[in-house]
Amino acid sequence: MREVKVALQRLKAKNMKKADILVACKKEIESRIMHSQEAIDSARESANSEQKSTAGDKHDTARAIAQFEQEKLGKQLAEQLKLRDALFLLSDQAASDIVRVGSLVECSNGLFFVGIGLGKIEVGGDHVFCISIGSPLGIAILKKSEKELFTVNGREFEILSIR
């Protein structure tokens, strides 16, 4: 039964195109950017209404909290914009015999897109793990080739294919 499940996963992974993954990553990043912008707008609106309705120390505290929230959201937005820019650069990466930034790697434990840390995303009903090169898995997988084994956090991975 396990062999059948693995065979089906491999068949699905072979049919998945890197372009589809890039589109799904772009949609995820754009969604995050939109939500961050909405949260910034909401925090700004809240701060403006707080200015009109309060006075004194309470006003200063509320304004400081709102300002802190806007700064935090602004940093999140900046990080998401960096991810979008990095994704644009990954779209030009050609296939390689070794894992590098922009590689789509099929392992015994799943399908991994190396380059940006978005986590698990859904592409055509299947899951792809988008990992950054700074993550433990990203560090371990870089410069490996097909059929190589490596271990991360006690889990063994075998690289089945690289695209």
The C-alpha R_g of the chain, in whole angstroms, comes to 21
Q: Which domain holds residue 58?
A: 2-162
Instruction: Write down the pTM of the prediction.
Output: 0.77
Q: Quick one: pLDDT band at residue 15, thresholds 50, 70, 90?
A: low
Q: What is the mean pLDDT of residues 9-18?
A: 64
The average confidence (pLDDT) of the chain is 85
Question: What's the confidence (pLDDT) of residue 50?
Answer: 62
CATH number for the domain spanning 41: value is: 3.10.50.30
Q: What is the mean pLDDT of residues 154-160?
A: 97
Question: What's the confidence (pLDDT) of residue 141?
Answer: 97
* Residue 59, pLDDT above cutoff 80: no
Q: Which of 139, 122, 121 is nearest to 130 (CA)?
A: 121
Question: What's the confidence (pLDDT) of residue 88?
Answer: 82
Q: pLDDT exceeding 70 applies to what percent of the chain? A: 83
| Domains in the chain, number | 1
Q: pLDDT exceeding 90 applies to what percent of the chain? A: 59
